[in-house]
Amino acid sequence: MSSKFKAASVSPDGAIEGQGLPAELVPKKKGAAYLFRKLLEQRYLQVMALLGLIWMIIFNYLPMYGIVIAFKNFDIISTIQEAPWAGLEHFKAFLEDDNFWDVVRNTLGISLLKLMIGFPLPILFALFLNEVRSIRYKKSIQTISYLPHFLSWVILGGILATWLSDTGLVNELLLGLGWIREPISYLAEPSYFWAIVITSDIWKELGWSAIIYLAAMAGVSPDLYEASTIDGAGRFQKMWYVTLPSIKGTISILFILAVSGILNSNFDQILVLRNSLNESASSVIDVYVYQVGIQQGRFSYSTAVGLLKAVVALILLLLANSVTKRLNNTSLF
């Protein structure tokens, strides 16, 4: 066997024969002592992480025990252990409920339109905002665009109710332009409700959602833009062939999360904007669970509906993750 394949040995002066490395630079096995030393060095960071872990266990994992009431006939008089078992009775009751198809249709309709319209708009907004050369103008536009995010839906709902009333801003503007002949009660018409929900959601979250994409664009190497400039690419070509491919990982991750939450129709927004007149278009799963579980006291039934929604969301998450992994080799796990 050639000498260069012989195992290196440590010489008396502390160097490794054949490699010339001192013994202290030789990688050591990481055992319990090494782990304890690292934890001691990072004790303050570990304490912060431990507090977050404890909080998550208390408020996210321990309450999951309450899911068992979906399979029981639970009421506030008896405890969870005392409640009799009901099996899949509540799940069957929801699937056979007269309101099932209405709430599913409204939930999927609103969520799919939000996904198709509201998901790509922040990407486009971030792309164009990234091309703005004036830093002051860019920061001003970005600040104005994400300010509505910090307002609750209670405040925005009151603003929208005022604007969309018979004597509100929208009717006054359309009457002044001659586009309508008489005021329209927009929130009283079910046919307008989906458009109001989607438009107001985009208005509130457009700027805030674009921040993630802008942060991803800031990490794109300038060398790619310089090379594309040498090749004669214009600004739109750089956006299409350089910027978008560079942030496709971020887009894929956010798309997976958006698909998994497709059954969530923004409970706060719907609850603020809905009324008895637009109920046929505003009854979604989250509002239905609130009405049945809190207002009617059917805790087991509403828990079963929520659990069923969570299971569907998990399936959608796995499907979206699998599809994006096959298309562009990007996934959550």
Burial of 176 (0-12, 13-18, 19+ CB in 10 A): exposed
Least confident range from 30-39, 85-94, 205-214, 239-248: namely 30-39
**What pLDDT was estimated at residue 14?**
45
pLDDT of residue 2 exceeding 80, the answer is no
Give how far Cα 93 sits from Cα of 13, 98, 169, Å.
Answer: 81, 10, 45
pTM of the model: 0.79
Mind listing the pLDDT tens digit for each residue in 193-212?
Answer: 999 999 999 999 999 999 99
Task: Tell me the domain boundaries of the chain.
Answer: 28-61, 98-328
- Whether residue 49 contacts residue 42, with contact meaning beta carbons closer than 8 Å, is answered with no
Distance CA 88, CA 70 (A): 8
Tokens for 264, please give them: 């969530």
| Beta carbons within 8 Å of 244's beta carbon, 6+ residues apart | 127, 251
Greater confidence (20 vs 187) lies with 187
Residue 214 is given by DSSP the state H
CB atoms within 10 A of CB 50: 10
For the stretch 231-262, pLDDT in tens is 888 888 999 999 999 998 899 999 998 998 88
Amino acid found at 109: G
Residue 13: the pLDDT is 45
**72 - beta bridge partners?**
85
**In this structure, CATH architecture of domain 98-328:** Orthogonal Bundle (1.10)
Distance from C-alpha of 75 to C-alpha of 72, rounded to nearest angstrom:
9
| 29 pLDDT more than 60 | no
Cα separation, 244 vs 257, in Å, equals 19
Q: What is the pLDDT of residues 271-294, one digit of tens each?
A: 999 988 999 999 999 999 998 888
Stretch 37-49: mean pLDDT: 89
